[in-house]
Chains A and B, each alone.
Chain A
């Protein structure tokens, strides 16, 4: 998260290299007495972090008019693209998305949560606007227009630790 707070640019995430023990199951030319355990750098820590969200967004892109049996419009390509772009950006910086849901105005909601401090943040892309809803546990909730340049501030708020 520090990378996202200080610099949210998608082009320059600095993954935090971790060492990880893995078991190598490939055919080896080495004698069997040689250990099959090796150490490698793992630089893809965040890959697939929000894979479930991406999959759901792809499903929402295929929803037809009246998908809720109550007259909801289909979700526009533009709305899906905005949600996908933010999902990708957050994944690159290690920020998980709890869930995503379509809504009755053709919107898509991304729900980000921090179990440690109880805060949650909903970012909602409507066909004609985008909003951010701050839901703390001990303060008054707040709604703002979503501004991508404020994303580091939003993530700092969400991941605040005392």
Chain B
């Protein structure tokens, strides 16, 4: 197994919302649930690297999803918890911009809230 490549702090990351816009905050900002690990995530939060994709590709269906962007530098500096973003292109070739944020735990609800507050909506 080869070591994964760490994503540079200067990169920006995309994260897609839930498949129903009404679960977002009424002002269009992200809720903390958007950045919450899922059971199937195995501790790795999926994102896309902005410089390797486009908003249209990252959002998929803009009628159903919102797209949010986040500075990787903020991710790396957040709280005392050490988070790292790794480049993680999907093996089937369907998403070469894919990356994962590692270091979160499902029991923690602080980091998802901080990531949500630091994110900005991308209008697609």
Residues of A at the B interface (CB closer than 8 Å) are: 52, 56, 59, 68-72, 98-99, 101-105, 107, 109, 111, 120, 122, 124, 131, 133, 135, 140-143
Task: Report the separation of the CA atoms of residues A108 and B9 in the bound assembly, to the nearest whole angstrom.
Answer: 33
Q: List 12 A-B contacts (CB under 8 A).
A: A52-B26, A71-B40, A98-B26, A103-B36, A104-B36, A105-B39, A109-B31, A109-B33, A111-B25, A131-B109, A135-B113, A141-B113
Task: Report the separation of the CA atoms of residues A122 and B22 in the bound assembly, to the nearest whole angstrom.
Answer: 18
Given the known inter-chain contacts A72-B38, A99-B25, please indicate yes or no for A111 contacting B31, CB distance below 8 A.
Answer: yes
Task: Report the separation of the CA atoms of residues A124 and B112 in the bound assembly, to the nearest whole angstrom.
Answer: 12
> Which one, B23, B38, B39, B110, contacts A141 given CB within 8 A?
B110
- Residues of B within 8 A of A (CB-CB), count: 23
A99, B31: Cβ atoms closer than 8 Å = yes
Task: Report the separation of the CA atoms of residues A112 and B117 in the bound assembly, to the nearest whole angstrom.
Answer: 14
Task: Report the separation of the CA atoms of residues A37 and B40 in the bound assembly, to the nearest whole angstrom.
Answer: 62
B106, A141: Cβ atoms closer than 8 Å = no
B22, A143: Cβ atoms closer than 8 Å = no
Task: Report the separation of the CA atoms of residues A104 and B36 in the bound assembly, to the nearest whole angstrom.
Answer: 7
16 other A-B residue contacts (CB within 8 Å) besides A101-B18, A104-B37, A105-B106: A52-B26, A69-B19, A70-B40, A98-B25, A101-B31, A101-B32, A102-B33, A103-B36, A104-B33, A105-B36, A107-B33, A109-B33, A120-B113, A124-B109, A135-B113, A143-B109
